[in-house]
Each structure stands twice: as C-alpha cells, then as structure tokens.
C-alpha cells in the first residue's frame, strides 16, 4: 500500500520450520494511532483491531538465531526463556515518512510450557523438539559463546542450575553420538568389493551397479571412487547401503566387518 510519502508491503511468514524462544516479557505499547503500532493487517488480524502488546522473540532456524519484536492485540502471557508458538505471523516491509525496515505482527503467541521445568509435549522428559532446541541453546551459550551459567541464565530467563542441567544433557547427547555406529568407512567396503572382483574377472563396478539398480557413477560416488558434485569424496557409508552392496555380491553382510 502507498499513502502519501509512505510505501508499505504486508507479507505473511511461514513459521513451520521456525522455533521461537521468548527473550523478554510482553510489554504494553499503547493503542494503535496513539503512539503504538499500526494495525496488524498483514498477519491476518482484523483491520479495526488495536495492537497493544509487543514481545521480543528469538527466532531459531538450524544454527541461526535472530531477535524480532512482534506486536499483537492481546497479552500473550509468556515468560522469558520459554518456547512459544506464534500464530498469524507477518511483517510490514517498506518505508514511511518516519520509519524504514520491517515490523512484525502476529494474531497470537502462546507458551509451549506451563513452567520452566515442565513441557506440555514431553512432560519435562526433554524429548520433544522444543526441549531439544532449548537444550542446544543452553549448550551453545555456555560452550560456543563462552558465557557462564549465570550469564546464560539471565539471557534465557532461567536459574544457573537449570542452564547447567540443560547444557550437560546436550553435552551427554553429543558424546553418545560419537559412539553411535551407523556408518562404516568406504575404504573398507571398497576393499571388500575389489576382493570380490579379483576372484571373479567378469564382475565389474558397472555390473555391480546394475545389480543394485543404480548408475555406475552413483555407485562410484557412494564408495568414494569419484567425488560428489561438491568435489569431496565420501569417507563413510551407511551400514544399510553397505549391506545391500555385499548382498549384491552374493555374500552375507556379516562377512563385512561392521555390518
């Protein structure tokens, strides 16, 4: 829309791949047209509805995080440090006579937790996506960013003890991941294939690829004979894929160490 010397575009935002962490309690910012935010028409709210609350959220996606301030019509009753869902998120992008950039609006923001320790989804077991994200966030703050438990606790709105427990859970998960055996070195599989070809002169990688129902170039990339499209060679192969190769050679997977 364009009004005088202003031009604003209203855009909806897909939140299906985003997680939201409440960075600060909600604050009342006044009525629209009286020093407050404009109507949240771009995010699905009623055009006559007053936007009177604003919440600072940390939007999380993969390993990236961005703080956004979201305006909405009602008090969301969320607490700092808890995960939240955002409904009807949208942004107004453009310039006016006094402002430029993007402003965010939502129809509602709801907590995912009843308390800092209890989760509606997994009852505090730490197995749901929200708890996992919170655990990773605590670990990143204390390990990658070098914050103390007290500093991280202030940022997340938790106690230092809670942050320590979250960070330790994530550290334990990463340690266990190192010992999880679901792949084996491609070098070991290549040696097994080459031994089979040495015993059978008619066996080639092209023939093996045919038995597997795949292209020879894909088999060569899977085994590390050829680099992938990014120029790197595969160093490991999943046990399921290695087992299929062994079976295609007419052997039992148990004959290959690690399968």
Say what the pTM is: 0.39
* pLDDT average, residue stretch 10-25: 84
Instruction: Please report, to the nearest 10 degrees, the dihedral formed by the alpha carbons of residues 59, 115, 88, 57 taken in order.
Output: -30
pLDDT at 6: 54
Task: State in Å, rounded, how far the first CA of the chain is from the last one.
Answer: 62
pLDDT at 160: 76
**Partners of 90 in the β-ladder:** 12, 105
* pLDDT average, residue stretch 198-218: 93
10 Å CB burial of residue 157 (0-12, 13-18, 19+) is middle
For residue 19, give Cα distances in angstroms to 59, 129, 155, 174. Answer: 6, 9, 17, 21
pLDDT tens-place string over residues 126-180: 567 777 888 889 999 999 999 998 898 888 887 777 788 888 888 888 877 776 6
pLDDT tens-place string over residues 52-81: 899 999 988 777 888 999 999 999 888 887
Percentage of residues of the chain with pLDDT beyond 90: 33
d(CA 163, CA 152): 7
pLDDT band (50, 70, 90) for residue 25: confident
| Rg over CA atoms, the chain | 27
pLDDT at 124: 53
Residue 215 vs residue 122, higher pLDDT = 215
Mean pLDDT value across the chain = 79
The helix-helix angle for 186-199 and 239-248 (nearest 10°) equals 0
Residue 65 vs residue 35, higher pLDDT = 65
Residue 143 vs residue 122, higher pLDDT = 143
Query: Which of these, 120, 230, 245, 134, lies nearest to 184 by C-alpha position?
Result: 245
SS (H, E, C) the chain: CEECCEEEEEEECCCCCCEEEECCCCEECCCCCCCCCCCCHHHCCCCCCCCCEEEEEEEEECCEEEEEEEEECCCCCCCCCCEEEEECCEEEEEECCCCEEEEEECCEEEECECCCCCECCCCCCCCCHHHHHHHHHHHHHHHHCCCCHHHHHHHHCCCHHHHHHHHHHHHHHHHHHHCCCCEEEHHHHHHHHHHHHHHCCCCCHHHHHHHHCCCHHHHHHHCCCCCCCCCCCCCEEEHHHHHHHHHHCCCCHHHCCCC
d(CA 164, CA 56): 24
pLDDT band (50, 70, 90) for residue 231: confident
- Let me know: does 235 contact 225? Beta carbons within 8 Å: no
pLDDT at 78: 87
d(CA 65, CA 55): 16
Q: Does the pLDDT value for residue 103 go beyond 90?
A: no
Q: Does the pLDDT value for residue 4 go beyond 50?
A: no
* pLDDT average, residue stretch 208-237: 91
pLDDT tens-place string over residues 80-98: 877 788 888 999 876 554 4
Mean pLDDT lowest for which of 4-8, 133-137, 220-224?
4-8
pLDDT at 8: 61
pLDDT at 114: 39
pLDDT band (50, 70, 90) for residue 220: very high
pLDDT band (50, 70, 90) for residue 224: very high
């Amino acid at each position: 829309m364009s009004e005088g010397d202003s031009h604003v575009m209203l855009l909806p935002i897909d939140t299906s791949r985003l997680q939201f962490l409440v960075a600060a309690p909600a604050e009342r910012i006044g009525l629209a047209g009286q020093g407050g935010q404009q109507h949240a028409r771009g995010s699905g709210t009623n055009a006559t509805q007053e936007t009177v609350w604003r919440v600072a959220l940390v939007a999380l996606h993969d390993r990236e995080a961005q703080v956004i301030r979201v305006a909405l019509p009602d008090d969301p009753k969320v607490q700092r440090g808890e995960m939240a869902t955002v409904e009807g998120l949208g942004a107004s992008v453009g310039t006016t006579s006094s402002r430029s950039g993007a402003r965010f609006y939502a129809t509602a923001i709801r907590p995912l937790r009843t308390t800092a320790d209890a989760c509606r989804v997994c009852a505090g077991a730490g197995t749901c996506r929200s708890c996992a994200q919170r655990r990773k966030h605590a670990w990143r703050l204390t390990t990658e960013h070098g914050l103390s438990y007290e500093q991280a606790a202030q940022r997340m709105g938790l106690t230092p003890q809670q942050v320590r427990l979250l960070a330790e859970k994530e550290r334990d998960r990463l340690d266990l991941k190192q010992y999880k055996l679901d792949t084996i070195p491609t070098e070991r599989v290549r040696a097994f294939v080459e031994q089979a070809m040495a015993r059978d002169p008619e066996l080639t990688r092209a023939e093996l690829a045919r038995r597997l129902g795949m292209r020879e170039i894909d088999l060569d990339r899977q085994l590390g004979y050829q680099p992938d499209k990014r120029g790197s060679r595969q160093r490991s192969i999943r046990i399921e894929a290695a087992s299929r190769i062994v079976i295609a050679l007419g052997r039992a997977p148990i004959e290959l160490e690690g399968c």
